[in-house]
Structure 1
Amino acid sequence: MSRKVRVEGRSRLTINAEKDVPDRSFGVSIASLNGVGIIAERAMYFNYRGRQGGHCSAAVSRPAIRQYLAEGYTGGDFDTWICLANPNEEAATARLVFSREDGSEVTLDAHLPALSRVSVRANDVPGLGKCSFATRVECPLPLFVERSVYFVYKNRAGGTNCNAQESPQERTFFAEGYTGFIFEVWLCLQNPNAVPTTAHITYMFSDGTTQTQDVGIGATTRQTVNVNEVVGDERDVSMMITADHPIVAERPMYFFYKPFEYLLDWSGGHDVVGATSPQTTFLFAEGYTGAGFEEWLCLQNPNPDPTTAHITYMFADGTTQTQDVGIGATTRQTVNVNDVVGPGRNVSVKIEADDPIVAERPMYFIYKGAWSGGHDVIGYTP
């Protein structure tokens, strides 16, 4: 099915897809009809086999014939799904290559009819029981690829979602990271190359100091880093990763989040694929400061000099609000959006910086007063 909606200039529109396609698995394509560029995100809230939470991903602008996912786990109470969408007018066969941390590989071919979506539960793939792995997806026809993980981890129930990355990179950036108040931060590093490589990680703290770590990654495998064990507790931390060969990096986080006005912690997790380079402009479509939602912006300045980020908040009624935020050299700054724009606002965000930075938008919530969790995205760059 298809529908048309009108989005006013410098505003934000929300669509409840459940009303259009109830009780269905589906993929979505969004196109501007008058040549005006838009930004789209998809937030989902769920009760998956008793694991309650939510996740969010920004839309991607094109399919690809080869894509990568650094995170994947089938042990404990983790379910990992690979979601494949075929936007082409003909059927396609995708090859999924799962690279385990022990260096072995498992291969699966998935058939996708024309204009269809297929989900693969990694837990059901022979050879992938109770292991950590990364994934490479290859197909003669370009596809869209995502990975959803649903879990119960140390009493934290929730789910995460990430778009696959089209190509490995020699540099990757993460603006968000926090090791305090029962938060766990991890790095998943995928080396798709036929030779080993080394990732050089620079941790950037809110006081401007840094810490470095080198991590070896075997050929066609993945390595996992527990950031809490490296930098210690109670640290706000951003990360820059440079590698001797191109790699793919993700940053899963698991948490008990303590909201100010609520007695119970909000538990869950979120995950993002790293930004491939700092930029001067970032855009976020999603944002909400209503009851049970807390929204943040994490701004990383990897440069040797301070800079300023100019933030424009765009509301559903077409009005805007601005804010300037200074960011010290090689550090990160955090903005509480609820405090800036006030409660009960549907809000999109545009960030323009004087120098290239990295921006993320974590959100924590208790959805409809029942499903707690969090999600995070790195801003879209035009």
Structure 2
Amino acid sequence: MKAELELRHLRVFVTVVETGAHSRAARALGISQSTVSETLSALERALGTPVFRKTSKGSTLTAAGETLLGYARRTLATTNEMVDELARLSGDIRATLVVAAVESISTYVLPACLATLRRRWRKTRIEVITATCSEIRESVAQGKSDLGVLVEADTGSADDCVLARARLTICASPSHPLLRHGATPDQLGRCDFYMSDAAGNFHDLLRHYFDAAGLALPRIQALGTIEAVKRGIGAVGGTAVGLLPAYTVTREFAERSLAEIVAHPPLPLLACRAVLARGRRSPIVNELIADSEEDAAARRKRDEVNGPAVFRRIERTNRRRRHPRLNSMNSQAQFRREERTRRKKSAQVFFAFFASFAAKNSSS
């Protein structure tokens, strides 16, 4: 075996095997298909033997390739562990991590997670930029941001990492007439909808929802921020409703300053995604993205099964409003569960990304 065998050779080799095609491996690694082919050729020259055999149905591993696959996976896993451990032990990190996120994430998800990261890497400066989804993608692609976090309808894009799914809720004052029995699109069409941005993704989701029912889009008021939407609903009352992600109003629902109107049929789910530049992903981030993609289908199936139960539970809660003490206890418990889940999922992606980022930027 020659000395020029490199980790990038093994990484490309394993990715080709796991994705099943050079083109898919190129997309996963953020490189061109020709680079994948050249890297595999360099690998075979370094080993002195072919690792793939062409057949009528495509390519299969040779005996040498089968043997190499196990060693390559273990080598990459050990390398990832080393990078993670060195980053954890490093106490002299001097770098800046720029995170671009939509308002709902930067305000309601990131603060607790970033506080933990700042305690762990005290000499690293973390900047959070609030932007729209299109601005976030552009910022990451241009290298202005290291990581993007956005919320939108699930498009199935292979470029993004689905971190979690959340419900899009219709929230209203506790005295709203549609709280008791839920609402159909026809009933919701007579409400004034408040949202932070009248031209964003939520506007498109709402338009598709009413288009599917054959109804015109109701009147929409853009108030600029999520907090303005919540305050506006409370101040105006009447038929005003807000369109917000569920995780932004858990506290208000628990305190009963706002309540959820159950829509029939329900609104579509939202996907929280991490966006990273193709050519700058670390092995740790690649593994995290792969893990997220593997269980995305399982989460989607669980959402389909549990979705109706969630809405039935909300309806029961609304019907039990005459029992405030019981309702308050259940809401507080639900709030605590959602808070723990949200922090855990947020911390997962940031710890994995930041471990690699810190290792690459540690001072010599």
- With structure 2 as the length reference, what TM-score do the two structures score? 0.25
TM-score by length of 1: 0.24
With CA pairs under 8 Å and 6+ residues apart, which has the higher RCO, 1 or 2?
A: 2
Which of the pair is proportionally richer in strand?
A: 1
Greater per-residue helix proportion: 2
